[in-house]
Every structure is written in structure tokens, then in C-alpha cells.
Homo-oligomer: A and B are copies of this chain.
Amino acid sequence: MIKFIVEKLLTMNIPNIDLPRVVIIGGGFSGLRLGKNINKNHYQVVLIDKNNYHTFQPLLYQVATSGLEPDSIAYPIRRTFKNHKNFHFRLAQVKRINKKKSSIKTSFGTINYDILVIATGAKTNFFGMENVKRFSIPMKSLIESLDLRSKILQNFEKAIYVNDIKEQEKLMNFVIVGGGPTGVELAGALGELKKQVFPEDFPDLDIRKMNIHIVEAAPRILASMSEEASAKAHQFLKKLEVNIWTNTQVTDYDGELVSTNGKVNFYSDTLIWAAGVQGAPLKGVDASAIGKGNRIIVNEYNQIHGFENIYAIGDVALMETETTPNGHPMLGAVAMQQGIHLAKNLNRISKNKKKLPFKYKNKGTMATIGKNLAVADLERFKFQGFFAWYVWMFVHLMLLVGFRNKIIVFINWAWSYIRSDKGTRLIVRPYKKKKPKKERIIKTAKSV
């Protein structure tokens, strides 16, 4: 009996069948695409994730700003793989990889693999600033977005009771660090709340006191896009009364004062950290395999050096080629393509065909600032404004997983468009701000 249990735990209750077992860690864009496209007549597939849902990260900022409900941009992983044979989802936290034994240890036992795919994505990079990590709010997960939503709304509810003007401004000041797409989209959505929603919601407050700041280290926002897109986005944000501070880096934050290396400091209760991500590799990956930005170095087949049967795909993979000396950008589009490509390669291997190297097809990048205000850099042409906004909406709707989610998001957007409203302004679980760590008082014996 005991032996039976132990054995089951060793396999996480995955049945042993006569097919090579592919274990995928992570149900993001890349892991999900790989799982869907791999031929399950030739492989047994196990997908492990710490959540039971896939998150559509590009729309997290809309959850944070009361535009969408969390359930609309998340999708149950089990549902995606309904009726897929030889497929097993397991909700577990992966602890470490044991390459010698070809196994991984999880919070619910150990499992052996024939082929391992690391698709663990990216995590927030605070560049070693502990205070910023402690007091700021990042926006990489559904829970963080919900926390940010609660925080924004709570601050306004509190501001009503506050009579000290400095205190009130602290509550109504929002500092976003990072002028990439996430920071820009978030700032735009906050700008819309300021212009359209909050004046009606909070007649007791002077909403002009609400200030939105973007702090960006580079000389321009959306630095990864064209100068044209950058300039137009700047202009759109100004229209929504967002203050932009380029060439400025945040250096510290104590929960109240945001210090920078520039001319300006901010007094703010809310610091939103959208300034950087890094790879999220697992324990058990050799230090020599970790490259720039904490990502795992892979060859053009997404293989990790020295291991024929271990792959990394998506944000966590660093494929340094002649055209991409710093690896590919950490984008959903790259992740999807790598997932699909690896599935194709594994399917080719099972038919004894040669693997093909990965080539990223850049379909362009887009960012939306507000209603009718978006910027798009496509391969052949660049455009901004009204049309870019429609294209952005259409593309994001199509990329969302699940038909139900597509409809619900569409209705929410149509609603916001017609009514200039954001429908889900609920503080379901209040956000609790972290208190500063108390310094430890070491009692020393008094010398007598």
C-alpha cells in the first residue's frame, strides 16, 4: 500500500503509457500554444501551472482600471484542453528540475519527463530596489491588477475624508514607472477615469487634484516603437492630462515619497511599477545557461545547451542570433510563435524529420492610449488615432481565448465607448498597504 502511494506521488497520478512524455511548465501564451498544437497521438502531454487559468496579460491594465472584469481575460486551462486525449493538466507549483534523473519536483510530488519545456515566462524586475519592491504595485498577474483596482478606488474614497491638502494630493497622485506599452496604456486608462468617470462618481472631490505621472528612463516613451508612434502617444497622453517625465529614473520609494535622479520628486501613495521584467527560470537550470535579463539561453530550436530534451520558450527563452543579439522582445507574439514552432518541431521529430530553426515573424506592435487614441507600427505602414484604435480592438478581441470571453469583452468595450464609462468599479477585496519594516532593536547588556 505504501509503495503504491509513493509510486503514485512520484508520477503525480499521470498514467504510464507507451508514448514519450512531454512536460510543459507554464500555461501562458507559449505553453498553451505548444500544448494545443503538439500531436497527442505521438506524445503524452502534461501541462503544469500554478493557476488553473491562462491570463491574457495585455489586458491586465483594463482590469486594474475598472474596464473589464477579471474573469473576462482569464480562461480555464482545463477547458482549452477539453476532449484532448493523452493530455493532463496539473495545478502545482514547480520547485526544481533534476536533470540527472529527468524529473521535476512540484508541490504535489515528482514527475519524470522524456522532454521538458520551460515556459515559465517573466516576472517583475525591481532592479534590486527593495523599498520599491515592498511598497509599489506591479501588474503582472490577475491578483496584482485587482489589488491595483482596489487601491485606486480606495484612495479616492479615503481622499473625501482628508482635509489636509498635502495628504489628499498624496492619495490622488499616481506615479507610473515605465513608459513602455503597459505604462502608457495604464496611464491612458487612468486619464479616462479622471476625465469621464471620477468627476461624476466623486462630486465631493475636486478631481483636478488627481495627477497622473509617467516616469521613463529613456528619452521618449514607447522607446521600442517608431519615433512617430512615440510622438503621437505623447500627444494623446497630454490630451488626457498625463504628465510625462522622460530621462528620469526612480531611485527610491518609502511608501510616500518617490525619489528620482531628475529634477522632480513625487509625493504619492501609489507607485505603479511597469518599468521592467526579467526571465523567471527555475531552480536546477545551470547558472551558465542563464543569460541577460535572467533568461535561459537557447539555440535556434529553443533547446538549452547540452540537453537534447530540454527546451525553453516564450519570455523566459533568450535566443541570441545575428538578427536578435539581445534575444527576441518579451512579447506575447514571440511566445505564441515559439510555442507553435516547437510543437511543429516535436511533431517532425516524431516522424523522424529534421527540426527547423525558429524565425520570428514580426507582425508589428500597437499600444492604445484611450478611446479613438492608439498607435500602431506594422511592417509596411505606421498609423495612429482612430483607425489604429479599431485595429487594436479587433486584434485583441481575436487573440482572447474563448468565445464567451470575446463577447463579454466586446460588450464591455462597446458599453464604455457609448457611455464613456467603466463598468466594474468594485472594491471586492480591499488592498492592504504594507507597513514599513520596523527596525530591529538589539538590546545590549548595559555595562555596569
In the docked arrangement, what's the CA distance between A78 and B160, Å? 13
Q: Which residues of B contact A90 (CB under 8 A)?
A: 160
Supposing A76-B425, A429-B429 touch, asked if A161 and B201 sit within 8 A by C-beta, the answer is no
Q: Are B426 and A53 in contact (CB under 8 A)?
A: yes
In the docked arrangement, what's the CA distance between A422 and B415, Å? 24
Which chain A residues (59-113) contact chain B, with CB distance < 8 Å?
69-72, 74, 76, 78-79, 82-83, 88, 90-91, 108-109
**Which stretch in A32-40, A242-250, A404-412 binds the other chain?**
A404-412
Which chain A residues (147-205) contact chain B, with CB distance < 8 Å?
153, 157, 160-161, 163-164, 200-202, 204
Supposing A146-B428, A404-B423, A427-B51 touch, asked if A8 and B157 sit within 8 A by C-beta, the answer is no
Q: Are A13 and B411 in contact (CB under 8 A)?
A: no
In the docked arrangement, what's the CA distance between A429 and B429, Å? 10
The closest CB in chain B to the CB of A150 belongs to: B52
Tell me if A12 is interfacial: C-beta within 8 Å of chain B. Answer: yes
Supposing A143-B428, A157-B91, A429-B143 touch, asked if A423 and B52 sit within 8 A by C-beta, the answer is no
Q: List 23 A–B pairs whose Cβ atoms lie within 8 Å, in order of A's numbering.
A: A5-B163, A9-B161, A12-B161, A13-B160, A53-B426, A53-B427, A53-B428, A69-B69, A69-B72, A70-B71, A70-B426, A71-B423, A71-B424, A74-B426, A76-B425, A78-B201, A79-B201, A82-B201, A142-B428, A404-B412, A404-B415, A408-B408, A408-B411
List 18 additional contacts besides A13-B160, A78-B201, A82-B200; criterion CB under 8 Å: A8-B163, A13-B163, A51-B426, A51-B427, A52-B157, A52-B427, A53-B425, A74-B428, A78-B425, A79-B201, A108-B161, A143-B429, A402-B423, A404-B411, A404-B412, A405-B423, A407-B411, A408-B408
